Chains A and B, each alone.
Chain A
Amino acid sequence: MTSVTVLQEAENKSRVTQEVLLNLGPQHPSTHGVLQLVLQLNGEIVERTEPHIGYLHRGTEKLAETFTYTQIFPLTDRLDYVCPPSNNLGFALAVERLLGIDVPERALYIRVMMVELARISGHLLIVGALPMDLGAMTALLYTMREREMLMDLMEMITGARMHTSYIRVGGVREDLPEGAAERIREFCEILPKRLKDYERLVAGNRVFLNRTKNIGVIAPKDAIDLGLSGPNLRASGVDWDMRRDSPYEIYDRLDFNVITHDDGDCYARWICRVHEMRESVRIIEQCLDHMPQGDFQVALPTIAFPVDKGLLETSMETHIHHFELSAYGFKVPKGEVYAAIEAPKGELGYYVISDGSQKPFRMRVRAPSFVNLQALEGKVGNMKYLADVIAMLGSLDPVIAEVDK
């Protein structure tokens, strides 16, 4: 059909205008992975949004049933791949509660520190990515510069840049290497200055404010009804943070503020994350200040490898435990448990059922991104134009690997 006939039909009214279904994604620069949004468009105006997920489904939960508890950690790395330590921590907490073991003090501090570094890593990505979705490319490359420092830190501490698998049941895999504390402190000194730069470059820009203020407003009640969590919930003015309200690890001993914002729009979600990074820096500094000496993992040979590798040569007992642990993993008592942490994206929960064997009977992940993505369904707030959908999606910060599991 040529354009001419279409025009003729429009003229003699044999062709009526109708709404357009637009497939935004799964291959699209702004969908943060392989998310498909089916938009019902009336010109530029969005009538309905429908997220279609599942393009990155890897069956993490089912796979976990065939792996030992230690083998599951690399699987959790790949959920929210921009901040793996927090995924590790959630699962470690669940298993530790089933086992009923106490983690040594030093390990607790290292774990909290790693998780906060991961939070910064996750927030840095989205703080740069939202402006890029709106057309300002430079902000992302600036935040990537700082993220690169974090990646180097991760590599130094855990041996891997991305999939760290550092936090384990009963502690962490290895102690902090020499010089790590100094480099973390250095990073903590640089980051707040750079955050000020981002605020000047992005939040000081009228175009960015026009594109994000009063766009995609989520009312506090809606946010709770949708089950939002993390910065998305706090940006709507709901003062809820698992770290403070349901403390785990050592968060009850640390001094930090829970950042909230009253507006609930895209800008509020963006600026909340910037401020949260400042609080994370404070937490990391406190961890470094108060970190005690001591073990970095539990001294239970059935659960953790021996710290002193020399024992493997001299003690038969240790050798047997080491072999059993490597070959079969450790057994976890019968029971079920739900452990949740405040991950960068929100409440990350692991529901683990154990039948007493070395492998979980069932593992269920409450992925914050999956729940947060619900805010895009249907007709959302005052999100009116196609370009607003992009701003909304970017500000919700979903990681599709975590949504699809």
Chain B
Amino acid sequence: MVEIFVVLVMLLKLAVLVAVLLMLPIPLTWLERKIAAHIQQRPGPMRVGWHGLLQPLADGIKLLSKEDHIPDAADRFLFTLAPIITLVATLTVFVAIPFGETITVYGTEITLYLTDMNVAVMYVLAIAGIDVFGVIIGGWASNSKYAVLGALRTCAQLISYEIPMGFAVVGVVMLAQSMSLVAIVEAQSELWNIVYQPLGFVVFFIAGLAEAQRIPFDLPEAEGDLGAGYHTEYSGMRFSFFMIGEYLVLILLAALNVVLFFGGWNPLFLPLPPLIWFLLKVAFFVWLFMWFRFTFPRYRYDQLMTIGWKVLLPLSLANILISGVILS
């Protein structure tokens, strides 16, 4: 009986998680447009609903009613598969993210995460890497020159940032003596990792921007030179799959930054509930990513590789060395 209850709770948590995650891009598109508008001294969407609050809904209806167009020259199977890979891979990562401590509901202890894997860090980095394959496959399968160029840029980008990103986390793992994300958060209950690992954070943050394909590293879709890059040929719901995937990666990276370096659910001053603290911190990072997007130009793809290999990689290695020396 107890086992069934545990499974039920698990399924319920999964349902809530997926539902919330798939809904989140709706307010986020509105928020991004509003933030952009206020940075650029204009009102932004104002017509649909109060201050354009229903704008994402209108956009969604528009995307749903668009013709689902597959180019003749495209590889139909891969073309259909690509957006699904991106979305599913990103959603899967969230299984390992701890959103808060254990809470007690009607005398039952419920953990605010789905699993506490002992190799969660590895899992997150590995699965988060998979969503890029959606981009690569999508660009390739479109059989369009712009899309292929976007996909090629993604390949170049992938190998340049994934390695420093992985190395940047090593310092955190050394501090917590564990690869479990829950253990990492618990290890930060007194002092956050950002104090011990400022260099690691900088490397992780910059590599994260590249992972999320945000400006200044939004090369695969650089509308300035590639039209729309890898999703040039996508329309309707397939396009919105990529969009949702992009926003989810954004939330994921904000969450990872919080979990690894900013103490997860640990409060700072106010004794708010842990979940609220976690969400506040994530919101801050999401806002930071959006702020970046509307301030910076984008790097050229060879410049990104230079940064990845010549700056971030040595820095992340140095970070491991320094952490090792200090810890021993």
Question: Which chain A residues have a beta carbon within 8 Å of chain B's beta carbons?
Answer: 2-3, 20, 22, 24, 28-30, 41, 43-44, 131-138, 141-142, 145, 201, 205, 207-208, 210-211, 385-390
Whether A134 contacts B297 by the Cβ 8 Å rule is yes
B36 and A30: CB pair below 8 A? no
Chain B 171-188 near chain A by CB (<8 Å), digits 1 or 0: 000000000000000000
Q: Which of A43, A135, A142, A208 has the most CB of B within 10 A?
A: A135
16 A-B contacts (beta carbon < 8 Å):
A3-B75, A24-B225, A135-B222, A138-B295, A142-B40, A205-B295, A205-B296, A205-B297, A207-B296, A207-B299, A208-B297, A210-B300, A211-B300, A385-B300, A387-B222, A389-B225
| Chain B count of residues within 8 A CB distance of the other chain | 33
**Chain B positions near chain A (C-beta within 8 angstroms):** 36, 39-42, 75, 78, 140-141, 145-146, 149, 152-153, 215-216, 218, 222-227, 294-303
A29 touches which one: B223, B295, B296 (CB < 8 A)? Answer: B223
Nearest-neighbor residue (CB-CB) of A134 within chain B = B297
Residue among A29, A41, A145, A210 making CB contact with B227, cutoff 8 Å? A29
Q: How many angstroms from the CA of A2 to the CA of B299 in the assembled complex?
A: 33
Assembled-state Cα–Cα distance A137/B35 (Å): 13
Judge whether A134 and B298 touch: CB under 8 Å.
Answer: yes
Quote the shortest CB–CB distance from B297 to chain A (angstroms). 4
* A133 in contact with B145 (CB, 8 Å): no
Contact between A141 and B300 (Cβ–Cβ < 8 Å)?
A: no
A43-B152, A390-B224, A390-B225 given; A135·B300 CB < 8 A: no
Pick the residue among B146, B152, B296 that contacts A44 (CB under 8 A): B152
Partner of B295, one of A2, A134, A136, A141: A136
Q: Given A44-B302, A135-B215, 15 other A-B contacts at CB below 8 A?
A: A3-B141, A22-B149, A29-B227, A41-B149, A44-B149, A134-B224, A135-B224, A135-B296, A141-B41, A141-B42, A142-B40, A207-B216, A211-B297, A385-B302, A389-B225
B144 vs chain A, min Cβ distance (A) = 10
B152 to chain A, nearest CB (A): 7
User: Nearest chain B CB to A40's CB is how many angstroms away?
Assistant: 12
B148: nearest chain-A partner, CB-CB: A20
Task: Give the distance to chain A from B179, nearest Cβ to Cβ, in Å.
Answer: 34
Residues of A within 8 A of B75 (CB): 2-3
Q: How far is the CB of B34 from chain A (nearest CB, A)?
A: 14
Q: A3-B78, A44-B301 are in contact. Are A136 and B40 (CB under 8 A)?
A: no
Tell me which residues across on chain B come within 8 A of A24, comparing CB atoms: 225
Taking chain A's interface residues, is the majority helix, strand, or loop, or is none over half, making it mixed?
helix
A residues in contact with B294, CB < 8 Å? 136-138
**What 6 pairs across the A-B complex have the smallest Cβ distances?**
A135-B298, A134-B297, A141-B40, A136-B297, A135-B297, A387-B300
Min Cβ gap A310→B in Å is 47
Which residues of the other chain, A, contact B303 by a CB distance below 8 angstroms? Answer: 210-211
Q: State how many angstroms separate the Cβ of A256 from the closest Cβ of chain B.
A: 31
B225 contacts A30, CB within 8 Å?
yes
Q: Which chain A positions have C-beta within 8 A of B42?
A: 141
> Per a CB cutoff under 8 Å, which of A2, A136, A138, A386 touches B225?
A386
B298 contacts A207, C-beta separation under 8 Å: yes
Q: Is the CB of B224 within 8 A of A386?
A: no
**Can you name the residue of chain B whose Cβ is closest to the Cβ of A137?**
B294
Chain B: CB-nearest residue to A389: B225
The answer to whether B224 and A29 have CB atoms under 8 Å apart is: yes
Contact A137 B225 (CB under 8 A): no
Query: Which of B40, B41, B300 is the most central at the interface, judged by chain A CB atoms within 10 Å of its CB?
Result: B300
A211 to B300, CA, bound (A): 7
Partner of B39, one of A41, A131, A138: A138
Q: Is the CB of A211 within 8 A of B299?
A: yes
**Given the known A-B contacts A137-B36, A142-B40, are A210 and B299 also in contact in the complex, defined by CB atoms under 8 Å?**
yes
What separation, in Å, do the CA atoms of A257 and B297 have in the docked complex?
31
Q: Which of A2, A30, A135 contacts B216 (CB 8 A)?
A: A135
Q: Which residues of B contact A22 (CB under 8 A)?
A: 145-146, 149
- A28, closest chain B residue (CB): B227
Shortest distance in angstroms between A387's beta carbon and chain B's nearest beta carbon?
A: 5
Nearest Cβ on chain B to A198's Cβ, whole angstroms: 13
Q: How far is the CB of A193 from chain B (nearest CB, A)?
A: 15
Name the residue on A nearest B296 (C-beta).
A207
Q: In the complex the two chains form, is B152's CB within 8 Å of A135's CB?
A: no
Which B residue sits closest to A145, measured CB to CB? B41
By a CB distance below 8 angstroms, the chain B residues around A141 are 40-42
With A3-B75, A30-B225, A141-B41 as contacts: A135 and B218 at CB distance below 8 Å: yes
B295 to chain A: closest residue by CB: A138
Cα(A131)–Cα(B224), bound, Å: 10
Residues of chain A contacted by B149 (CB below 8 angstroms): 22, 41, 44, 386
Known A3-B75, A141-B42; contact A20-B297, beta-carbon cutoff 8 A? no
* A133 neighbours in B (Cβ, 8 Å): 224
Give the docked Cα–Cα distance between A3 and B78 (Å).
9
Contacts of A135 on B, CB cut-off 8 Å? 215-216, 218, 222, 224, 296-298
Beta-carbon nearest neighbor of B226 in chain A: A386
Expressed in whole angstroms, the Cα–Cα distance for A369 and B250 within the complex equals 42
Chain B residues near A43 (CB-CB < 8 A): 152
**Known: A2-B75, A3-B140, A207-B216. Is A137-B40 also a contact (CB below 8 A)?**
yes
Q: How far is the CA of A134 from the CA of B299 in the complex (A)?
A: 8
CB-CB nearest in chain A for B146: A22
Q: Which residue of A lies closest to B303 (CB)?
A: A210
Distance between Cα atoms of A136 and B149 in the complex (Å): 21
Is the Cβ of A207 less than 8 Å from the Cβ of B297?
yes
* Chain A residues with CB below 8 A from B298, complex form: 134-135, 207, 211
B225 to chain A, nearest CB (A): 5
Interface pair B297/A387, CB less than 8 Å apart: no
Residues of chain B contacted by A30 (CB below 8 angstroms): 224-225
User: What residues of chain B lie closer than 8 Å to A44, measured between beta carbons?
Assistant: 149, 152-153, 301-302
Closest CB in chain B relative to A51 CB, distance in Å = 16
Q: In the complex, A259→B29 CA distance in Å?
A: 44
Q: Which residues of B contact A386 (CB under 8 A)?
A: 149, 225-226
For B140, the chain A residues whose CB sits under 8 A away are 3
Counting chain B CB atoms within 10 Å of each CB, the highest count among A20, A22, A134, A145 belongs to A134
Give the residues in chain B near A132, CB-CB below 8 Å: 224
CB distance from B42 to the nearest CB of A (A): 7
Distance in angstroms between the alpha carbons of A49 and B176 in the assembled complex: 55
